[in-house]
Amino acid sequence: MSPGRPVDPEPTSLRESWEAHAGEWLAWAGVPGHDSYWRFHREAFFALLPAPGRLTVDVGCGQGRVTADLVARGHTVVGVDGSPTLAAAAADRGIAACVGDAASLPLGDGVADCVVCFMVLQDVDRFAGAIAEAARVLRPGGRMAWAVVHPVNSAGRFEPGPGSGDDPAPPFVIRQPYYRVQQYADEVERDGLVMTFHSEHRPLQDYAGALADAGFVIEADRTDRARSRRPVVPDAALPRRRMPPRGRRRPRVSRPAVIGPGSPMPGRHPGFTPGGRACGPTAPRL
């Protein structure tokens, strides 16, 4: 196991980069217990979801590990992914999955009760379009539930100073302008598996703005403050490219938000009527 390292983003779209690294992702996400999904994200996320309805759409389903868990919990799910390799892998395991872009979903207006987008929005080229599409396919009062890499995680890093020894809480430093949107790539190695993540840093307000523009109401943010005060967290919670030495780990800054009743807003998206709701979970990637 070695720390990840930042690498130059490839000169392609994020979607093409994910297809290029689909084989790595199949291995990475296919080993139970390998990343944070299995260790803590899964239960925290599913606790937020509404009861199964007519249709749940899993946007950015990958090879379908979240989709399969949704099915196990009684949801009728359609998975959509931009990577033909990953969508095919999901279909191979019996999941109703298809190739499609998050910003142009191959679904009709108002067909879904719930849109799930688990650790995807930071990896898509047109995240605002993806949020608008979620609004379009949701029925009135439907819910969107998502998790993303927290923008603080993608903006900065712990920087132990000279002589800081085993200081468990070195300063967390943001050197780039937090508000600057930029692509980045992390090559990560863990337990013999290598994965290169291609993503885009963007400030939290960009997500909030896109949700508001699509007519969503954000109902609550369930930041786990107790956890966020802990200076040392499990390996699984950490973005490895910025992994400081053991004992200088990044705190988990927040966890998925709550979805619940909210004040209806006038629908701003064609086909989307008041009452749509979203939760904007934010979390470390790994």
Binding site for ligand SAM (CB under 6 A): 14-15, 18, 29, 37, 60-62, 65-66, 81-83, 86, 101-102, 118-120, 123-125
Quote the CA–CA distance of 171 and 206 in Å, as a whole number. 26
What are 98's strand-pairing partners?
80
Tokens of 224: 């786990």
C-alpha triplet 60, 63, 68: angle, nearest 5°: 90
The residue among 83 and 153 lying less far from ligand SAM, judged by its C-beta, is 83
* Minimum distance, C-beta of residue 173 to ligand SAM, in the bound complex (Å): 26
**Is 282 within 8 Å of 155 (Cβ atoms)?**
no
Which amino acid appears at position 150 of this protein?
Answer: H
The residue among 65 and 157 lying less far from ligand SAM, judged by its C-beta, is 65
The residue among 124 and 233 lying less far from ligand SAM, judged by its C-beta, is 124
* Minimum distance, C-beta of residue 47 to ligand SAM, in the bound complex (Å): 16
* Minimum distance, C-beta of residue 42 to ligand SAM, in the bound complex (Å): 9
* Minimum distance, C-beta of residue 16 to ligand SAM, in the bound complex (Å): 9
C-alpha triplet 82, 87, 90: angle, nearest 5°: 145
The residue among 60 and 284 lying less far from ligand SAM, judged by its C-beta, is 60
* Minimum distance, C-beta of residue 263 to ligand SAM, in the bound complex (Å): 30
Burial class (CB in 10 A: 0-12, 13-18, 19+), 245: middle
The residue among 119 and 279 lying less far from ligand SAM, judged by its C-beta, is 119
* Minimum distance, C-beta of residue 23 to ligand SAM, in the bound complex (Å): 12
The residue among 18 and 158 lying less far from ligand SAM, judged by its C-beta, is 18
